[in-house]
Amino acid sequence: MQPTEQRTSYPQEKVDELGFLKDAFKKVEVAILASVQGLTVAEVSELRRKLHDAGVKFRVVKNTLAKKAIKGTPLEVITDDFKQVTAVAWHDSDPVGPAKVLTAFKKGLEKFVIKAGFQGGLRLDANGIEALSKLPTMDELRAQLLGTINAVPAKLLAQLNAPAQHVVGVIQAKKDKDEKAA
């Protein structure tokens, strides 16, 4: 190949990977970049398992392919963070799940590095990802919402029953007083 020529064809494996990443990154809610350099196979496997259990997709990517895949998407804000060995954790609908899993994993393993992230059209640094991890998950938010919704009818029912309970209490007291007098 001459120095001025550009390579125009890629192996099918890279074409498939690029297609997969483009499709995945089009609909992503959150993406977090991390470095798995220096981790053992067992540590990476444990991380994969934890992410899988949380429903988070995870892949170690070639930086050039990842940069091509995010071109034209909101994820372009993290293009410059694809350096060295990069792994991407992403989720299509839960913005907090990947941050929680990766932050918890980092606490147990100091050599694991969280590089940057993307959420809501913004680039997040490590501190932003830490803050994101402290937010409640979608399931926790749903539980809080259901608790709030259920609390209103419960309080209403208690208020409706209160006068009846007072009447019953007064009648019971009158009955007890009459029994003592008799």
pLDDT single digits (tens) 43-83:
999 999 999 999 999 999 988 889 998 888 888 889 889 98
In this predicted structure, which of 26-35, 39-48, 152-161 has the lowest mean pLDDT? Answer: 152-161
pLDDT of residue 52: 94
Whole-prediction pTM value?
A: 0.70
User: Is 70 exceeded by the pLDDT of residue 132?
Assistant: yes
User: Can you read off the two tokens belonging to residue 59?
Assistant: 């892949």
Confidence of residue 1 (pLDDT cuts 50, 70, 90): very low
User: Is 90 exceeded by the pLDDT of residue 156?
Assistant: no
Exposed/middle/buried for residue 112 (C-beta within 10 Å: 0-12, 13-18, 19+): buried
Confidence of residue 139 (pLDDT cuts 50, 70, 90): confident
**Which of 16, 110, 17 shows the shortest CA–CA distance to 62?**
17
Strand partners, 30: 91, 119
Please state, in angstroms and rounded to a whole number, the distance separating the CA atoms of residues 25 and 69: 7
Please state, in angstroms and rounded to a whole number, the distance separating the CA atoms of residues 105 and 66: 23
User: Is 60 exceeded by the pLDDT of residue 6?
Assistant: no
